């Protein structure tokens, strides 16, 4: 299976390292994904090489995936740095509106915060609209085996990254729900709900 991914990627048009297809191709090789998910990612990465609009939307999702709010200008600049000048066309604002609309139709929950200190688009929690789950879910043994093989430092790194993302998401949610709260109160309440204790965090500047 791995050799097929490598061959299919090599025969495509050459692209820069900053192009979103590059990261999606790496994810397609990652054992953390199921075989079907890897095939889907590889297929989508190949499509992004020849479809500017899909590449642009993939770049937007990759940017928003950090859990932070991003202004229109920041989105335009970051995506343009990856795909090149002119990727937004003559009307960037309309292009971004269409992209966000298409992503939302796909089930991705993108919201907009207007608070001065956290203005911009961000992924709501949960990031995707959930479909009804079956009563008995299947166990992903491939994923379990992969996690077991991780080193202790890598497990810790991923745990801290997940905790930081959860904290940022909770701050955004609380800021939207309580527009009259100060930034400090939002941070303290977010830490209380996510970690169970108030106070300042030493991780990721939060």
pLDDT, greater one: 107 or 202: 107
Q: What is the pLDDT of residue 161?
A: 81
Percent of the chain with pLDDT over 70: 77
Sign of CA dihedral 96, 102, 108, 111: positive
Percent of the chain residues topping a pLDDT of 90:
23
Q: What is the pLDDT of residues 25-56, one digit of tens each?
A: 877 777 566 777 778 888 888 888 889 999 99
Q: Which pairs with CB-CB distance under 8 Å and at least 24 residues apart come from 138-141?
A: 140/34
Residue pLDDT, tens place only, 80-89: 999 998 999 9
What spatial distance separates the first Cα and last Cα of the chain, rounded to whole Å? 41
- 161 vs 204, which has greater pLDDT? 161
Q: Look at the pTM and tell me if it is higher than 0.85.
A: no
What pLDDT, on the 0 to 100 scale, is given for residue 13? 47
Task: Name the 3-class secondary structure at 123.
Answer: strand
User: What is the predicted pLDDT for the residue at 14?
Assistant: 55
15 vs 83: CA distance, rounded Å: 9
How confident is the model over 76-95, as a mean pLDDT? 93
Q: DSSP character for 106? A: T
174-178: average pLDDT: 82
Structure tokens, 115: 């608070």
Residue 183 scores a pLDDT above 80: yes
- The model's confidence at residue 71, banded by pLDDT at 50, 70 and 90, is very high
Higher pLDDT, 57 or 18: 57
CA atoms within 13 A on the CB side of 18: 10
**pLDDT > 70? residue 128:** no
pLDDT of residue 1: 42
Q: What is the DSSP string of 23-92?
A: HHHHHHT-TTS-HHHHHHHHHHHHHHHH-HHHHHHHHHHHHHTTSS-B-HHHHHHHHHHHH-TTTT-S-H
């Amino acid at each position: 299976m791995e050799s097929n991914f490598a061959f299919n990627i090599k025969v495509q048009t050459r692209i820069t390292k900053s192009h979103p297809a590059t990261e999606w191709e790496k994810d397609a090789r990652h054992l953390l994904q199921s075989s079907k998910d890897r095939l889907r990612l590889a297929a989508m990465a190949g499509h992004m090489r020849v479809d500017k609009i899909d590449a642009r939307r993939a770049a937007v999702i990759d940017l928003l995936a950090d859990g932070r709010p991003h202004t229109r200008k920041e989105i335009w600049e970051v995506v343009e740095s990856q795909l090149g000048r002119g990727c937004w066309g003559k009307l960037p604002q309309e292009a971004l509106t269409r992209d966000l609309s298409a992503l939302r139709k796909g089930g991705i929950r993108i919201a907009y915060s207007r608070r001065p200190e956290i203005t911009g688009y961000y992924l709501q929690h949960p990031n995707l609209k959930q479909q009804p789950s079956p009563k008995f879910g299947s166990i992903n043994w491939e994923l379990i085996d992969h996690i077991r093989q991780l080193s202790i430092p890598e497990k810790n790194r991923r745990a801290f990254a997940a905790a930081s993302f959860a904290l940022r998401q909770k701050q955004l949610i609380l800021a939207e729900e309580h527009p009259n709260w100060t930034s400090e109160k939002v941070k303290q309440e977010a830490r209380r709900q996510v970690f169970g204790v108030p106070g300042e965090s030493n991780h990721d500047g939060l």
